[in-house]
Amino acid sequence: MTSLGLVGLGRMGGNMRERWRGAGLQVIGYDLNQELSDATDPADLVARLDAPRVIWLMLPVQHIDAMLAQVVPLLSAGDVVVDGGNSKYTDDQRRAGVCAEHGVAFVDCGVSGGVWGRTNGYALMVGGEAAVVERLTPYFQALKPAGDFGFVHAGPVGAGHFAKMVHNGIEYAMMEAYAEGWELLATADLVTDVPAVFRSWREGSVVKSWLLDLLDNALEDDPDLSDVRGYAEDSGEGRWTVEAAIELGVPTPAISASLYTRFISRQTDSPAMKMIAALRNQFGGHAVLPEDD
């Protein structure tokens, strides 16, 4: 069976390693933090894997190319590199070319699930050659939720990250809609228990979703979000979604507006942005900024 080495053992990578191991799959991890790491360095990681090898990267986008430069020359023909980070889809073909020079295949995999993925499973959006993707089936099956959903071979190299980019653009717009609704309810004198309204929507409503469940969690922890500053970062995918929409001539007013609202949050302490920040913390463990004293 293919042997897998995982590079990057942070919030996502560390939980993925444990989910794989819980499914009985052998995974060797490497991280700069040696307290988390199984291998001492990339060379040690590759040496400990049996061919054919898979190197799965779970790294911030700014570190992908540097790690590829270290790892790919250590690999052999027939090995595979998977980029599971939130890379821009336009970089995938270039990186596939770098790998191909060494006879190494490249797969891009958009991964959604945040800090809850270890328990609930991850949604995987994959791009690459069908035969290569098929080889990785045991690892995809172990990560995804049980049942029919949570995995798609979206197309050739780049398709996985493109699908994940659009997924995150939709996520931006959904969170913005919930946040604006929360601010409107909270501002009105008529509604006396705003958290209870959102809680009531968790079943039977057409707006029910996992994000709504997480919103309810956030309000249970802090009913008026007084401990959260109304500031929300954008991690890149929202911008890329809008850029792709402009390039393709596809109207995306809701996604575009939600991105610009995040920019507004960096200028004023927006009440709606308190909810966006709280939701990002709930599903992804992203840090929230405390209110200034």
The H-assigned helical ranges of the chain are: 11-22, 42-47, 64-71, 92-100, 117-120, 130-135, 137-143, 159-187, 194-200, 210-221, 237-248, 253-265, 271-284
DSSP characters over 201-217: TTTT-TT--HHHHHHHH
Give the span between the Cα atoms of 106 and 195, in whole angstroms. 46
DSSP characters over 37-88: -SSSSHHHHHHTSPSSEEEEE---GGGHHHHHHHHGGG--TT-EEEE-S---
Going by the DSSP 8-state scheme, the letter that residue 147 receives in this structure is: S
Q: Respond yes or no: is residue 144 known to be catalytic.
A: no
Give the span between the Cα atoms of 118 and 278, in whole angstroms. 21
Give the span between the Cα atoms of 111 and 151, in whole angstroms. 10
Q: Which of 144, 164, 183, 274 is catalytic?
A: 164
DSSP-derived pairing of the beta strands 3-7 and 53-57: parallel
Asked if residues 150 and 121 have their Cβ atoms less than 8 Å apart, the reply is: yes
Q: Which of 144, 171, 176, 274 is catalytic?
A: 171
What token pair was written down for 215?
């919103």
Displacement of CA 181 from its chain's centroid (Å): 25
Sign of CA dihedral 95, 100, 104, 108: positive
Q: Respond yes or no: is residue 180 known to be catalytic.
A: no
By annotation, the residues acting in catalysis are 164, 171
